[in-house]
Amino acid sequence: MNRKLGKRRAGGERAARFDRAEVGGRSPPYGGGTQEAGLNNGKSGNGDRTHDRRGQDMGLDYWGITCAVVVPGTLLASWIDYSQRRVPNWLNATLLACGLVVQGLYFGAAGVGDGLMGALVGFGLLIVPWLMHGMGAGDVKLMAAIGAWFGPAMTFYSFALGAVIGGVAAVVMILSSRRLKHACSNLGVIMAKCSSSKTMFSEFGSAKSFGTTSQLLPYGVPLTAGSLIVLAGKVCGWWG
């Protein structure tokens, strides 16, 4: 009798161990599955949040790199333009190439397209004044190089703000140097130049032809000022 009870107890213990091992080896159909699904959902959610953070970080990093390259690059260009009346081709080419490369690294083909459009806008805005001999080719290339970083909209804003700054600076320089008479005379020459298609794109009335009768302010200086103000507004969130 005792032997039978011992066998029954041993059999029951073995069955209990078997059940526990079976439960531990297989996931429950609801509890374990729900937990696994929750883990998968958590991974998916974290992945989406990581992707979102990466997208935001890439945007912030892009403008950080833009500041690190465009700010010193345009300041150097404006200083050379002011002191030597020229902007080196190597500087403009470097800014343009770097802008397109960084656009491609961060935003892919869409970024390269946006950079090319910005460069075309910058080039197109100043090509006519250059053809009229109103500015140097270096200023046109600099605007195109900035456009590769800024895209079309910011490039246009930079040009417009630079034109305003350049106009105000010109008025201040004319009044401070007491050359209002010479300025009015030069303005008459410019109007005569624009009145005829024969003289519009000729050397007549060019910026260089005025010589010492006007204080020439290279457009690279106000162009840089306008671009940096627009860039600061973008980084600081003054506008979208």
* pLDDT at residue 71 in the model: 97
* pLDDT at residue 23 in the model: 42
**Total Cβ atoms within 10 A of residue 211:** 8
Burial class of residue 26 in the structure, from the number of CB atoms within 10 Å of its CB (0-12 exposed, 13-18 middle, 19+ buried) = exposed
The DSSP code for 179 is: -
Query: Per-block average pLDDT, block size 10, for the chain (240 residues)?
Result: 49 49 40 40 37 42 94 95 90 97 96 97 91 83 96 96 90 76 67 71 64 67 94 86
* pLDDT at residue 164 in the model: 94
Distance of CA 181 to the CA centre of its chain: 42
* pLDDT at residue 101 in the model: 97
